[in-house]
Amino acid sequence: MSGSRDNKTTHFGFREVPESAKAGLVGQVFSSVASRYDVMNDVMSFGIHRLWKRFTIGQAGVRTGQKVLDLAGGTGDLAAQFVTQVGATGLVTVADINAAMLDVGRARFADRGLAGNVEFVQADAESLPFPDNYFDCITIAFGLRNVTHIDAALASMFRVLKPGGRLLVLEFSKPVLPGLNAVYDAYSFHLLPKLGKLIANDEESYRYLVESIRKHPDQETLKEMMEKAGFERAHYFNLSGGIVALHKGYKF
């Protein structure tokens, strides 16, 4: 294989694809599921994703007047809570590489009358279009595994985070409870794609999402990647037996 990035391959679920093609393929997935994304989240997790996100919001410790980046923020679940926490003197930026997901988020905020201290930006996590040392807090929920170069995305997040700021990564991870893996695999590979077909009329996109979870780094590997990017005091919380993990790190 050539050393040129153009000739390198990466995983798209269980398929190997050119690195240059992955962002477009992921974009097609989320454009396809955007309108039913939140409904599917409720169905897939039996509503538990709301508890995972609530825990993340609590760990974020956002305060009045702060600047928060909700990366891969899509439909704005976390951002809606941060908007009330930062108040009129703060700012919440919802960034996502996918325009369809941002459109859903904008519409939801308009319906709820949330405006003034929130902005929606189409951006690539690997090359964030924000100044150095800008945000007090960055969150990314269920988005990091879709990034082509996780190390580049972490470095980009580190750059735009203020000294004293913190990063929180909420992502599917590796179950740690005995016996949970077999049950989780059966549910993920057999039932979830069928639910995707039934509810979102898109079996293949949800098959990719399941496969992307299996290809994502485990808890310790992601912690090491955060440390390599410069984050200090990196640690994680296993949620629901490790099906999901919340990683947290600081920039000092």
Q: pLDDT tens digit string along 189-207?
A: 777 777 777 766 777 777 8
Q: What is the mean pLDDT of residues 35-44?
A: 64
Domain ranges for the chain, please list them.
5-176+208-250
Query: The tokens 């595994």 sit on which residue?
Result: 145
Q: Quick one: 106 exposed, middle or buried, by C-beta within 10 A (0-12, 13-18, 19+)?
A: middle
Residue 34 has, within 13 A of its CA and on its CB side, a CA count of 24
| pLDDT over 90 (residue 3) | no
Question: How many other C-beta atoms can be found within 10 angstroms of the C-beta atom of residue 5?
Answer: 11
Beta strands 67-71 and 15-18, pairing class: unpaired
- Superfamily designation of domain 5-176+208-250: Vaccinia Virus protein VP39 (3.40.50.150)
Question: Which residues neighbour 116 within 8 Å (Cβ) at sequence distance 6 or greater?
Answer: 88
β pairing state of 91-96 and 9-12? unpaired
* Per-residue pLDDT tens digits for 97-117: 988 889 988 988 988 888 789
Strands 91-96 and 67-71: parallel
Percent with pLDDT over 70 in the chain: 87
pLDDT beyond 90 at 78: yes
3-state secondary structure of 148: coil
pLDDT number for residue 111: 87
* pLDDT level of residue 4 (50, 70, 90 thresholds): very low
| Mean pLDDT calculated for residue range 24-40 | 62
- Can you give the pLDDT at residue 2? 40
Q: Tell whether pTM > 0.85.
A: no
Mean pLDDT computed over every residue of the chain: 87
DSSP designation for 112: T
Q: Is the pLDDT confidence value at 161 over 70?
A: yes
Q: How far apart are CA 120 and CA 105, in angstroms?
A: 8
Confidence band of 209 (pLDDT split at 50, 70, 90)? confident
Confidence of residue 39 (pLDDT cuts 50, 70, 90): low
- Whole-number Å distance between alpha carbons of 113 and 95: 19
